Amino acid sequence: MSDKSRKTFLMIIFLCVLFILVWVSDKFLDEYTMRVIRTGLIYIIAAISYNLINGIAGQFSLGPNGFMALGGYMVALLMLPLEQKKFVWFLKPLIWPFNSFSFTKAFFPLAIFFGGMAGALGALVVGFPTLRLRGDYLAIATFGFSQIIIVLANNLISVTNGALGIKGVPEYANIYWCLAWAIITVLFTTNLANSSYGRAMKSIRDDEIAAESMGISIFKHKLLAFVVSGFFAGVSGGLMTSLITTISPSLFSFTMTFNLLIIIVLGGLGSITGSVITAFAFAILSELLRFVESPINLGPIYIPGIAGMRMLVFSFLLVVLMIFYRRGIFGEKELSWDWVLSRFGSKNHQGVKVCPGKTEHF
Amino acid sequence: MSWKNGAFLALDKVSLNFGGLLAVSDFDFILRQGELVGLIGPNGAGKTTVFNIITGQYEPVRGRVFFKGQDITGWRPDRVTCAGIARTFQNMRLFGGLTVLDNVLVSRHSKLKSSVLAAAFNFPGYIKEEREAKIKAMGLLDRLGLADLAHMRAGNLPYGQQRRVEIARALAADPKVLLLDEPAAGMNPEETIRLMEFISGVRNEFGLTIFLIEHDMKLVMGICERIHVIDYGISIAEGTPKEIQDDPKVISAYLGEEACDYS
């Protein structure tokens, strides 16, 4: 078997095993655990989309929560049943065309796709004027954008129902949809990052002036990374909204961006597999660490429950990691079949060989 | 343009100032097809600025830049490169995180016809284009004796090899004109001689027109057919290496008024 077909074969087996695993856990695990897993999968999508713009194209954006909010509201507006819409918008009526239709369950993937398109459109609109900026300036501009989205969400009552939010979005984001979108995101982004376009983005990250002098249109490729990133951020926002069945401006506040930033920096900027692992770990840890926010009795010492203590743990982790592993757990590397095979597989396989055009392997 | 008959690349009275500092002033220059011309001058004379004006990093305040009879003044650098002018940098600017092969492939990207979606979904058309680009890039590295380094991270290579990779990367863009900004900077005499041979070889093999900036007189005098001297942004002399060596203006620019027996 050739190297390539072996990897395809392994990939198919891996996906089958993953599917069976999910099917089994869906059957036997309780609702709470499944929710954590679904949240983890959604975090994976959001983190990869953020890593594309920050780690691969090297543009420091602080706006993913804005794109997620766009996707979330789009999905809420499309999926909310009509009678629920009349019930939710009691302050001001919902604007046309959303007041005249709603998607049935069968169209849920389409609604998520439209959520992604909303995020992509938002990225296009924001990226056009701001991507001429570099470094800190871009970060400030995208931060401003995400704040604008939250302010709009609070005040455009006839679309977003303001701070009250939209309640009663059907919970169609089951484990299979979350998994399917996560797989699509991983495969699409990996392929894009390893393609000629991905190389162009990485060249811009490494040296903008040199990239431009090698015939790369800087603006076009930054915008491309931004729009693709916006699409998947929108998808993750849509899934998240459907998972927790409500959306309000506070759901996609700047804390979301901060969480994602922790995830991609911990996983390694530019490493997609790194983002997958840390995003999933982040979702699980967020639940496991709930105990630090409850009152703790340590013999003579009594610590009252402090909300937000979990973030302190993550921030501490980030500080420690920045001191000892400045480039994140994975650096820029990817967990690959080559590495897996060299560890566990046939002895004649050269695990450390670097494939042309691919990212470095372990 | 009658006065610039046969010009491949021409600068017509180009001026650029940074605030009050006149970087380049009324600079006239022509490059004929197939020539190898050197641009020399003391530190801060405006040599790199001339390069930056040609490649579009800077837009001149006055004057025009012509390439193959076309006015390219004010074009974006990527457009200039696609038109056929590639360059290297004085302080090398390789993509340190990418492999040598990927560095070269970046230059092929502007030739890619497949769309983003075709690339991300690995459509057969894209895979074919990618394979062709890789074959071409590997062929180029092979011809330049860099094939062994193809899968090394560019940032980890020794200095001299990085210089060669930078030239390879510029060549991958299929240029007609190659601009080399101090290719021998930081090299010892032996490396410089090897580089001279390398540049001459590249030129013959790819049929290039080369314009190079260099401090190393030995290199410039050895391979250039014509030399242009610039000082304080003003063109002070032009001619064959022999003529330049004997030009009193050049001697005074380099060695001060008194010294006149430089050769």
- A210 vs B89, B110, B122: nearest CB: B89
pLDDT in the model for residue A87 = 83
**pLDDT bracket for residue A214 (50, 70, 90):** very high
Residue B62, classed as helix, strand or coil, is strand
Is residue A74, in this structure, part of any structural domain at all? yes
A330 contacts in chain B (CB < 8 Å):
none
Does some domain include residue A95? yes
Number of domains in chain A: 1
B contacts of A211 (beta carbons < 8 Å)? 95, 106
Cβ distance B89 to A210 under 8 Å?
yes
Tell me the average pLDDT of chain A: 87
pLDDT at A48: 96
The helix/strand/coil state of B228 is: strand
Q: Which of residues 2-41 of A touch B (CB under 8 A)?
A: none
Which CATH number goes with the domain that contains A50? 1.10.3470
- What residues of chain B, 53 to 72, have a C-beta less than 8 Å from chain A? 55, 57
Cα separation of A168 and B153, whole Å? 53
Q: Please compute the mean of the pLDDT values over residues A273-292 and round it to a whole number.
A: 89
* pLDDT over threshold 90, residue A38: yes
CA distances from B116 to A53, A60, A221, B113, B123 (A): 15, 22, 10, 10, 10
How far apart are the C-alpha atoms of A311 and A317, rounded to whole Å? 10
pLDDT for B258: 54
Average pLDDT over residues A101-128: 92
Q: What is the pLDDT of residue A95?
A: 78
Q: Does A258 touch chain B (CB under 8 A)?
A: no
Residue A39, min C-alpha distance to chain B (Å): 26
| ipTM for the predicted complex | 0.89
Q: How far is the first Cα of chain B from the last one, in angstroms, to the nearest whole number? A: 36
Q: Give the sign of the dihedral formed by CA B202, CA B204, CA B207, CA B211.
A: positive
Under 8 Å between Cβ of B102 and B109: no
**Range A298-302 average pLDDT:** 79
Q: Is the pLDDT at A353 greater than 60, yes or no?
A: no
For residues B224 and B184, the answer to whether their CB atoms sit within 8 Å is no
Sequence-ordered list of residues with C-beta below 8 angstroms from that of A261, at least 6 positions apart, any chain:
A50, A54, A62
Nearest to A214 among B107, B114, B116 (CB): B107
Q: Quick: pLDDT tens for A217-246.
A: 999 999 999 999 999 999 999 999 999 999
- Which pLDDT score is estimated for A361? 39
Domains parsed from chain B with CATH numbers: 1-84+175-263 (3.40.50.300), 100-171 (no CATH)
Q: What's residue A346's pLDDT?
A: 53
Mean pLDDT over A191-196 rounds to 94
Partners of A203 on chain B (C-beta within 8 Å) are: 95, 98, 103, 106
Count how many Cα atoms sit within 13 Å of the Cα of residue B66 in the half-sphere of its side chain.
20
- Output the six-digit token pair for B206: 């790819």
Please count the other Cβ atoms lying within 10 Å of the Cβ belonging to residue A127. 28
Higher pLDDT pick, B219 / A81: A81
What is the edge-to-edge ordering of all strands in the sheet holding B226-231?
B85-87, B177-181, B209-213, B36-40, B226-231, B234-239
CA distance B220 to chain A (A): 24
| Residue A336 in domain | no
Residue A356 in this model has a pLDDT that exceeds 50: no
Residue B166 · residue B92 · CB < 8 Å: yes
- The residue-averaged pLDDT of A290-309 equals 78
Of B188 and A344, the structure prediction assigns the larger pLDDT to: B188
Say yes or no for a CB contact (<8 Å) between A354 and B112.
Answer: no
CB contact (8 A) between residue B110 and residue A211: no
Tokens matching residue A94: 């919902």
For B120, phi then psi, to 5°, come to: -70, -30
pLDDT for A98 beyond 90: no
For residue A94, the 8-state DSSP code is P
* Reduced 3-state DSSP string for A27-84: HHCCHHHHHHHHHHHHHHHHHHHHHHHHHHCCCCCCCHHHHHHHHHHHHHHHHCCHHH
pLDDT at position A345 is 60
pLDDT at A315: 84
Q: Is the per-residue pLDDT at A349 higher than 50?
A: no
Which amino acid makes up residue B82?
C
Residues of B in contact with A218 (CB under 8 A): 78
A135 touches chain B (CB under 8 A): no
Residue A200 has its nearest CB partner, among B57, B106, B121, at B106
Q: B140-144: list long-range contacts, CB under 8 Å, 24+ apart.
A: B140/B104, B140/B168, B140/B171, B140/B172, B141/B100, B141/B101, B141/B104, B141/B168, B143/B205, B144/B168, B144/B171, B144/B198, B144/B202
Contact A357 B102 (CB under 8 A): yes
Task: Report residue B155 as tokens.
Answer: 């940032």
Tell me which chain A residues have a C-beta less than 8 angstroms from the C-beta of B153: 360
A339 occurs within a structural domain: no
Which domain covers residue A22, as residue numbers?
A: 3-331
Q: Judge whether A75 is closer than 8 Å to chain B, CB to CB.
A: no
Residue A357 above 60 pLDDT? no
C-alpha of A103 from chain center: 24
pLDDT by 10s per residue, chain B, length 263: 444 567 889 999 999 988 888 889 999 998 998 899 999 988 888 899 999 999 999 999 999 999 998 899 989 999 999 999 999 998 889 999 899 999 999 999 999 999 999 999 989 999 999 999 999 999 999 988 889 999 999 989 988 889 889 999 999 999 999 999 998 887 888 888 888 888 888 888 888 999 999 877 778 888 899 999 998 888 888 899 888 888 888 888 877 655 445 44
- The letter for the amino acid at A229 is S
The mean-pLDDT minimum among A80-94, A296-310, B116-130, B137-151 falls in A296-310
